[in-house]
Amino acid sequence: MQDDATELDRALEGRGRVLIPAELKDAFADDTLAVRRRALSKSVLLGTGFYVAFALGDAFAVPDRLQLALIFRLAIILPLGLVVFYWLRRTRCSLIRQQCVACSFHLLVVGLLALLVVLSESVDALGFVFASYALLMFMVISMALPRSLVAVLASVVVLIQAVAVAHGPLRYPTLELHNLMIAIVIIGPAIFANRALESDRRRQFLLMERERLRRRQLAEQRDMLARLAALDPLTELANRRGLNAGIAGDLDRLTSGARVAIAMIDIDHFKAYNDHYGHGAGDEALRRVARALAEAARPPGRVGRMGGEEFAVFVPGITHHELPLYAERLRASVQRLALVHHHSRTAGVMTISVGMVLGCPTSSDVQMLFEAADAALYRAKKAGRNQVSIEDLTRPDMNAHRTG
């Protein structure tokens, strides 16, 4: 994700045309699709309005072809423009097809204006040449067209105007040069404006994409920090905070009246182990005990390290018949590791004491179960360690001790 951010920064810092990274081209096309579709329909609607409004000038520009000019504007351009606008708003065909249709409509208008230039004997008809290039500038800027389509559109308009000038009322060769100079003066800025607007759209997209990427990065970092804050770095088990959060989630999913068990576990004579074998060996022993307990607790137990050599297990949905076997499974899992502990007064290997209680809690009295499990652990240690002490709060007669 950091590489993506670097690539976006590099694209935004570039001068001239803003380039979209290859992997984001489809996303950019999807992101700007609605904007480009709206630009096409607005261009056709506004253009139709302009074409009809300019009918007021036909009496001065082409007085000898006034009736034909009005037919072009009111009988052809106006209804066709409305049809094209309606089609653009309703259709769901490809964008390039919509762009071609919109360009074809505008080119038709240019062609009709050029035809008026050719058919009229009025010198003022050449004003339609200027109008056509102004129309071209409007098309290029307003329709958000790709460069390839802009090049085709400009070439066709220049060609149409060249034919109109060549066959117009004034057939001077210098008018062709004049037409070309007008084309360069008007089309150049239009293409530049189109490129600037496209670069701005690309830049805005990249800025938004970079912002989305940074938000994702921040969210991932927050999640990672939350996980780390809930994790014991030595054993990779949940710490006290993480275990409490997990228990709260489990309780929310439990049905009313369901039973849960909590086991408090302490490694027997762990201080002596640390003192004689060293803290490095003590850390490795904690990791191995943690893995053994996590394996023995599944399913459905949740294991956490409470601190030092003390662990806790939360077991939702367990019954009083399963309780003794489950507690014994936890105790035996550590003894089977056969971690040599010559300084233990209980056995020649590392062992644990387990205090386990069963109850029907709510989130408000989980602490009471922890206290009861801690009291059961004290009884197991007092009975000689390497013991399991069980208390069933739902059936007080089930209290028992088991020895490994």
Taking each helix axis from N to C terminus, what angle separates 173-229 and 147-166, rounded to the nearest 10 degrees?
Answer: 170
Contact 260, 312 (CB under 8 A): no
Identify the DSSP state of 362.
Answer: -
The answer to whether the peptide bond before residue 300 is cis (omega within 30 degrees of 0) is yes
Contact 158, 190 (CB under 8 A): no
Contact 364, 384 (CB under 8 A): no
Of 85, 19, 17, 97, nearest to 51 by C-alpha is: 85
User: Rounded to 5 degrees, what are φ and ψ at 339?
Assistant: -75, 115
| Ramachandran quadrant class, 365 (left: phi over 0; alpha: psi -120 to 50; beta: rest) | alpha
What stretches of 130-273 adopt beta strand conformation (E)?
260-267
What stretches of 217-272 adopt beta strand conformation (E)?
260-267
Find tokens 């921040």 and name the residue. Answer: 218
Segment holding 352, helix H or strand E: strand 352-359
C-alpha span between 158 and 136 (Å, rounded): 10
User: Which residues are marked as active site?
Assistant: 309
